[in-house]
Amino acid sequence: MHKPSLIPDFAYDPPETPLQFLHEDAQLLVLDKPAGLLSVPGKLEGRQDCLITRLQASRWDALVVHRLDCDTSGVIIFARTKQAQGFLGQEFEHRRAQKTYVARVHGHIAADSGRIDLPLGSDWDFRPRQKVDHLNGRPAVTDWEVIVRSQTETRVRLTPHTGRSHQLRVHMLALGHPIIGDQIYAPETSRDYPRLMLHAETLSLHHPATGERVSFTAPVPF
């Protein structure tokens, strides 16, 4: 018997903030996405307002390359031609694109760094949750490094080597240190926080026109 989802349907109330451009040229657009704004339109009614829709209002040629979770802020890249979109897509598919994130997590992490190598798959009974799935999950690897710690929380830099859905959120939960403000994976400890404390800080990849490696950074807002 199918179990009902225990994940409450979130109220979508996207922030009315202006677009924050980090870079713009003839091939690509790089923005700093605010937390609380979908990257692309949602499937349900009332979720058409999103970053790509707002961007195309002023840059009609913007094309989606990748996504960030609604609750995650930070660096996101769009293409301006089909050729650039294909090139950038290959950068992500073949893991030539490198990303780092900054997160505030619950608890005091004693070690200075480590690697989480746990396969992930969909938790079909509780969608959109993902879970560690050693039987049917897809490989997922995340490196973490402590930036600063206190007795109650730790600020970490996360480097994902794969791009699974909710990878960083599930991996930190598996480590015993869920990301602060996570309404899906740690709602009982996140009610007092205004947002998910996860930010895409840097993105590095090859430029579709020159082939040179370029890097973009969005300042951490928390």
User: For the chain, what are the domain ranges?
Assistant: 21-217
The answer to whether 69 is a known catalytic residue is yes
Q: Could you tell me the pTM of the whole model?
A: 0.92
Average pLDDT over residues 18-26: 98
What number does CATH give the domain 21-217?
3.30.2350.10
Is residue 97 within 8 A of residue 91, CB to CB? The reply is yes
Q: What is the pLDDT of residue 9?
A: 58
Answer whether residue 7 shows pLDDT above 80. Answer: no
* Token couple for 205: 């990849």
Please identify which of the residues 9, 49, 61, 69 carries the catalytic annotation: 69
What does the pLDDT read at residue 10?
Answer: 67
Contacts of 60 (CB under 8 A, 6+ apart): none
User: Quick one: average pLDDT of 96-106?
Assistant: 98
30, 124, 133, 219 from 118: Cα distances, Å: 31, 18, 8, 29
Strand partners, 15: none
